[in-house]
Amino acid sequence: MASFLVQFSYTEQGVKGLLKEGGSKRREATEQLIKSLGGKLVAYYFAFGEYDGFAIIEGAENVDAAAAGLIVAASGAVKTKTTVLLTP
């Protein structure tokens, strides 16, 4: 089972959507996308700093994580950086 750390930053368009729909809707949309690809959203946090938030995803394969990244990028609402996590 693969695990991923996804760091995300909202674009101007994404911030407008966040303000309109709220953070809970963004989390729900993320969870639905990951679930549709066979994965599980383990954690989802908003943050201050270089990134607007972080998500930890598990269960998806590398190709599924790449597909999720492409779907999100195509929306134009957010930019992401995905890191494969390793367990000790």
Give pTM, 2 decimals.
0.88
Instruction: List the domain range (segments joined by +) for residue 73.
Output: 3-85
Give the tens place of pLDDT for each residue, 23-74: 889 899 999 999 998 999 999 999 999 999 999 999 868 888 888 888 888 9
The pLDDT value recorded for residue 60 is: 65
Task: Tell me how many domains the chain contains.
Answer: 1
The C-alpha angle 45, 47, 50, rounded to 5 degrees, equals 130
Tell me: pLDDT of 80 over 80: yes
Per-residue tokens: 2: 């693969």
- CATH number, domain of 62, equals 3.30.70.920
Contacts of 3 (CB under 8 A, 6+ apart): 42, 56, 57, 58, 84, 85, 87
CA–CA separation, 12 and 28 (whole Å)? 20
